[in-house]
Amino acid sequence: MAGYVTVAAVLAAGVLLVTAAMVARRLLAPRAPVPAKLTTYESGVDPVGEGWAQTKVRYFVYSFLYVVFAVDAVYLFPWATVLRDARLGGASLVEMGIFVALVVLGLGHAARRGLLRWM
């Protein structure tokens, strides 16, 4: 538990670092906001339309896939610590094999349906 107290202290030190740096910037950096400076950068021309533009999101498939595999990875870690246990070892190897095979089946399905190809 003592380790986590140190981790918390390190995080606090980090927050302190950021705060101190921002105070230093306050004291040292100039501040001269003018409207032209505060406009959104768009390669030198006036920004067109809304800042939050619409874009075709073709990345969502990857986040779905990620969720599937992330669940898989979460179960792998506890398994890593018990695999050497003589009472569990062999059987758990087969079980995990089946589990991973199911997940790989999902990836194979996604690949076959062309989800891993760029459209």
Partner 1 sequence: MLEVVLRAAAVLAAFLVLPLLVGQTEHKVMAHMQGRLGPMYAGGFHGWAQLVADGVKFVQKEDVTPARADRWVFRLAPAVALLPYLVALAVIPLSPSVVGAQVDASVLLVLAVMGVGIVGTLMAGWASANKYSLLGGMRAAAQLVSYELPMVLAVASVALAAGTLSLTGIAAAWRPWWLLWQLPGALVFLVSALAELQRPPFDMPVADSEIVFGVFTEYTGLRFAFFLLAEYAGIVVLSLLFAVLFLGGWAGPLPDVLGWLWTLLKGFAVAVVVIWLRVSWPRLREDQLQRLAWVWLVPIALVQLAVTSVVVVATR
Contacts with partner 1 by CB under 8 A lie at 2-7, 9-15, 17-18, 21-22, 24-25, 28-33, 35, 37-43, 47, 51-53, 55, 57, 59, 62-63, 65-66, 69-70, 73, 76-77, 79-81, 83-84, 86, 89-90, 93, 96-97, 100, 104, 107, 111, 116-118
Least distance from partner 1 to the Cβ atom of residue 29, Å: 5
CB of 109 closer than 8 Å to CB of 116: no
Least distance from partner 1 to the Cβ atom of residue 14, Å: 4
Least distance from partner 1 to the Cβ atom of residue 20, Å: 11
Alpha-helix runs per DSSP H in the chain: 2-28, 35-38, 60-82, 89-112
C-alpha triplet 25, 27, 29: angle, nearest 5°:
55
Task: Give the Cα separation of 116 and 91 in Å (integer).
Answer: 34
Least distance from partner 1 to the Cβ atom of residue 85, Å: 9
Residue whose C-alpha is closest to residue 115's, from 55, 54, 60: 60
